[in-house]
Amino acid sequence: MSMNNRGSGIWLYAERLPHVSEQHLVTLGEGRVPLVRSWRIGEKLGLPNLYFKLESLNPTGSYKDRISALALSLAREQGKTACIGTTSGNAGASVAAYAARAGLPYHVYVQENIIQSKLEQILVHHAHVYKVEGMGFNSQVGQQVFENVRTKAAANNWEAVITAFAYAPQAMEAVKTISFEIQEELGTPDAVFVPVGGGGLLAGIHSGFSDMLVSGQASRLPKIAACQSSGCANLVRGWEQGLNKPVPGDSTSLISGIQVPNPPDADLVFSALRESGGFGTALQDEATWHWQELLAVEEGIFCEPAGAIGLAGAVQALQEGRISGNDTVVVIISGAGYKDVHRTKVMTEHAHVPIISANEM
């Protein structure tokens, strides 16, 4: 099947993705989300060529939809009878939607204190959800859950959908399409700032640019910056200490989506940082919340906290001289604001909304 017959979104790049026959394609129109230039924040920072890649505008509100579309298409192609995975919220919401689209049951294991709005987005598609004690905070529990999912998938002819190259390498190829889109619209930026939990998003973006460098579609690689919460910066700390592996430790971060103390794609992240001349940066949760609010107020971009950590990282990198004001910088806005209604409540709790009569207008 040629690309011209595949429709739009990520499927424009079908020939660069694992093969899926047309009759098994599962799509909700994912991909080809806007890449928008900053109108105010960049100017105020002295970073006029600042861009935001709005992965928050995918069908279920996060970049995970790219992965889910390919994962469920592959599941149908390979005759899988169900799918199974883990999530802190966004992957589960995404896979649940695409599994419903594909007509396959979905079994998903979530952290015990999952944000209610994210849980509801999973449940609305009638997924089978199980809360796991310690998941998302205890690294040993997280590793055990990953392995249990892989074992159950193999034993039952289910598709394992853990959004990491270590567990779903074929489906994760879809992340490369983010890089393909950026290159088509902007050329190669100087730096790309990426939220990092498990590391798959960063690894996939770097891999996409690397593929284009090899094919001649790009002449260089952008610096890739790994942005983690200081409360769950095991990967960044390992990088800064020259260990080439994450520093062990549990998560204390309050930011959903990047609470992964045992990042399964850590090796790929370290390789990406080395090959691209990139770096890691750890941000206080408070700094991320600050820039989340400014994205809404200054740019009209409503994202969840994890979607704003890339901007917090870019600001810190500019202050530290890791990037310059002349650089073209892309920040990945990974998830939509409605994902975390608690943060929305905090951001708006001081607003006064009076009740008036029509005559008082």
State pLDDT tens for residues 60-99. Answer: 999 999 999 999 999 999 999 999 999 989 999 999 999 9
| Average pLDDT score over residue span 298-315 | 98
> What pLDDT score does 1 carry?
38
Secondary structure (3-state) at 190: coil
Alpha-carbon gap, residue 223 to 277, rounded angstroms:
6
pTM: 0.95
- Identify which of 311, 254, 251 has the alpha carbon closest to the alpha carbon of residue 50: 311
Q: What is the CATH architecture of 9-61+171-346?
A: 3-Layer(aba) Sandwich (3.40)
User: Does 3.40.630.30 match the CATH number of domain 64-168?
Assistant: no
Sequence-distant (6+) residues with CB within 8 A of 353 are: none
Q: Classify the C-alpha dihedral 160-162-166-171 as positive or negative.
A: positive
pLDDT tier at 6, thresholds 50, 70, 90: low
Question: What is the full DSSP assignment across 89-151?
Answer: SHHHHHHHHHHHHHT--EEEEEETT--HHHHHHHHTTT-EEEEETTTTT-HHHHHHHHHHHHH
CA distances from 272 to 1, 63, 88, 222 (A): 32, 19, 24, 10
> What pLDDT score does 4 carry?
45
Q: Do domains 9-61+171-346 and 64-168 have the same CATH topology?
A: yes
CA distances from 72 to 96, 99, 125, 168, 331 (A): 10, 6, 15, 11, 28
Least reliable range by pLDDT among 60-69, 257-266, 324-333: 257-266
| Average pLDDT score over residue span 228-249 | 95
Question: What is the full DSSP assignment across 279-303?
Answer: EEEEE-HHHHHHHHHHIIIII---B
Interval 268-286: pLDDT, tens: 999 999 999 999 999 999 9
For a pLDDT cut of 70, what percent of the chain falls above it? Answer: 98
> What pLDDT score does 123 carry?
98
For the chain, the domains span 9-61+171-346, 64-168
Sheet of strand 83-87: strand arrangement: 128-132, 106-111, 83-87, 159-160
Interior angle at CA 132, CA 136 and CA 169, nearest 5: 60
